[in-house]
Amino acid sequence: MKRTFALSVLAVTLGALCAMARSFEVGETDFLLDGKPFVVRCGEVHYARIPRAYWRHRLQMLRAMGCNAVGCYMFWNFHEREKGAFTWDRRADVAAFCRMAQAEGLWVILRPGPYSCAEWEGGGAPWWLMQDDDKKKPISMRSSDPRWLVPATNWLHAVGRQLSGLQVTKGGPILMVQVENEYGLHGADVAYMRALRQAALDAGFEVPLYACNPPRVMQNGFIPELFQAANFGGDPEQRFEIVRKYQPKGPLMCAEYYPAWFDTWGQAHHPPKNDRAFFGPIDWMFAHGVSFSLYMAHGGTSFGGWSGCRNPFVPNVTSYDYEAPINENGRAKMERIAPLDVLVRREVKMERPEFMERLGQGFGLVSYERMLAPGDGGQLNVDELHDFGYVFLDGKRIGVLDRRHRGVRPRIDRSKEKNPRRLQIVVEAMGRINSSSGMEDRKGMSGRVRLDKKELKGWTARIMPLDPDGEDIQEAVAKAGRDGVPPPSAAGVAAAAADSPALYRGTLNVPDDVPADTFLDMRDWTKGIVWVNGHNLGRFWSIGPQQTLYLPGCWLRKGGNEVVVLDFFGPRAKSEIASVGKAVLDVLQPETDFNRKERQNKKCLGGEEVASGMFPSGDEAQVVMFGKGVRGNFFTLQALTTYDAKNLATIAEFDFLDKDGNPLNSLDVQITGVDSEEEIREDGVDGQVEAFWLTSSRTLPHWIEFCVPAKAEVFGFRYTPRQNKSVGRIKDWRFLAR
């Protein structure tokens, strides 16, 4: 879900600057800080929902996200629990919270109510307002009723006594103060709104006062004396068109932009928005210089029974996690910051794709791209692809070319539109062969690329080296920070896809002066690479068995540590990374492997029989020569019977032989189909005779299909039985070619 907000370029170091009196005003087109345009990048954090001991940590994380301000509801009933008796200490010490925010480089957008909502008990209204209620004429909350307005005015005056000295005009961090909250959803009493505004002025607040509403109800209770901010979760352009009807001039601000929603007992959890839904409006507000506040940046917990109820009565849960970027226990959720475009170092034009080595590249990724004519379509065939090719058509993922399963090939339908389409194959290098056979293991893509029989020529290779030491990732992250979240370029249209490869960034907080070694738990992610403080920790892949990455303590520092993740699919669950005390090296998740179903074909396609026979029962390798060469792309070995009663079949190794009895290059041979396969315990045919392929079904016959590209001529094969144990050793067999 999400990208880290590239805001740090806008967030100035405020601690020293705020010691002097300054100015903050609503200008003709912009907010003006000391007379200069200023854009508010705010995140909502509620001190009442966080243990005081964690305040600084949460504010540091907000600052690390790149925010330059913290939005802060004050809940009236949290401070005035009995009429006239105010509490301003411990978790209610809001002045200390504001000073702490200033020390951490954050401005404060103060929201004292008297009504807050926020899924808080009574919306912040004290219970004692109803203690002396007149049954014949109940109190009218949020109105000019003196039974509400008088104590509400007293509350705002009390807030002023605590915080008016912390305004920006007096050297403090408070930039703006909200009057009421979303009043347009409740009433339309203009006199009430003017009375509250006057109460805020009388309380000593001289910074800009504002109201916030969903734009559709902004006219209710509207008074031009208050700056108008909008609350919404999408379609900013449309929402601000409505705002301009009531506020033709001045800056634009979204006072509450929602990453998700709150939860209620007995109803399903509200999931976060997908990347496109969440970041589209963020991108728009970035591009148009619009101020905004994330509601929530960190939700926290409604401790002590302070959670409220939705109307009609549906009680809210205790957690106020809100699927916020910083979750309930203060762990930073990883935010999507940029597509792969930021990793591109150069481009190379070519007639046919060439391997990375020919392009002067040793590691990383290459995106091979070209335009397709509307009539182009068919099965995508690539002569040589090492190792994984993530295929996109106009930004939509259509499949994965997988070196393990060469028989799995995406199909591109012919377009009915007249516009050309962009084909992208993002190729990932996954490590070169390290055994003696096959070490000439080139990476990338080479040779012909065809749609059915039509060859596609004229390619652009976009080079993304991914230095093993991690130096280039810091440059890429810095580029995202300078430019903001980059929109999809003409050459990188795959960035528009929510599940396209992308960079994510978050912060790992370390409280210790001497950080200890730890492990990052990657089980919620799919496949990619992790960097911490610029150090490349290596690859992760959800299929396992390794699910953690070792993070040496010497690469960490006290406080915030930058974590960057490149995931080729995006997180599978919550976009979070936890540090854990021990490695997880034994958890397989085969269901997460792409192309898994396509490999386990339901039907053996077979071919013409080339040879048949019976293998002996021992563990010696068996050589079968055909007497003449056989040409084909696909070859199938069928196990008709086995030497044990379990009816399982195993193969330790299988090599195709040339006319002299020598093995063909193992790089050219891939398993493309099986009737069944044990995926949990065994390793497969991998060049190590101690490992073996094993069926999971006990029903004979069993079969395994190999692909040899370019119609190789095969003169025989060498079968190595399972070593050490006789289980699964093949007896009667057939060999087919097509």
User: What would the pLDDT profile of 404-455 be if each residue is shown by its tens digit?
Assistant: 776 678 889 888 878 899 999 999 988 887 765 667 888 999 999 999 889 9
Q: Give CATH 3.20.20.80 domain extents, the chain.
A: 17-333
Phi, psi for residue 486 in degrees, rounded to 5: -70, 135
Q: Residue 527 corresponds to which amino acid?
A: K
Q: CATH number of 17-333: 3.40.1180.10, 3.40.50.300, 3.60.20.10, 3.20.20.80? A: 3.20.20.80
Give domain 503-594's CATH number out of 3.30.360.10, 2.60.120.260, 3.30.1360.10, 3.50.50.60. Answer: 2.60.120.260
The dihedral sign for the CA sequence 470, 474, 479, 481: positive
Q: Is the peptide bond before 515 cis (omega within 30 degrees of 0)?
A: no
Does a cis peptide bond (omega within 30 degrees of 0) precede residue 644?
A: no
**Residue 104 annotated as catalytic:** no
Q: Are 2 and 333 a contacting pair, CB within 8 Å?
A: yes
The predicted structure's pLDDT at residue 689? 46
Alpha carbon distance 462, 727 (integer Å): 49
Output phi, psi for 714, to 5 deg: -110, 130
CATH architecture for segment(s) 341-464: Sandwich (2.60)
Q: Are 277 and 89 in contact (CB under 8 A)?
A: no
C-alpha span between 182 and 379 (Å, rounded): 55
Peptide bond into 387 cis (omega under 30): yes
Task: Please state, in angstroms and rounded to a whole number, the distance separating the CA atoms of residues 501 and 488.
Answer: 12
Those residues of the chain that have pLDDT short of 50 are 1-18, 482-497, 599-602, 667, 680-683, 686-690
pLDDT at 208: 98
Domain with CATH 2.60.120.260 in the chain: 341-464, 503-594
User: Tens of pLDDT along 625-675?
Assistant: 998 999 888 899 999 999 988 889 999 888 889 899 988 765 466 677 788
Annotation says 180 is catalytic: no
Cβ atoms of 380 and 453 closer than 8 Å: no
Minimal CA–CA distance to 400: which of 684, 596, 604? 596
* Active-site residue, from 44, 80, 180, 182: 182
310 residue type, one letter: R
> Nearest to residue 687, comparing CAs of 651, 711, 732?
651
CB 623 within 8 A of CB 611: no
Catalytic, out of 121, 256, 335, 653: 256
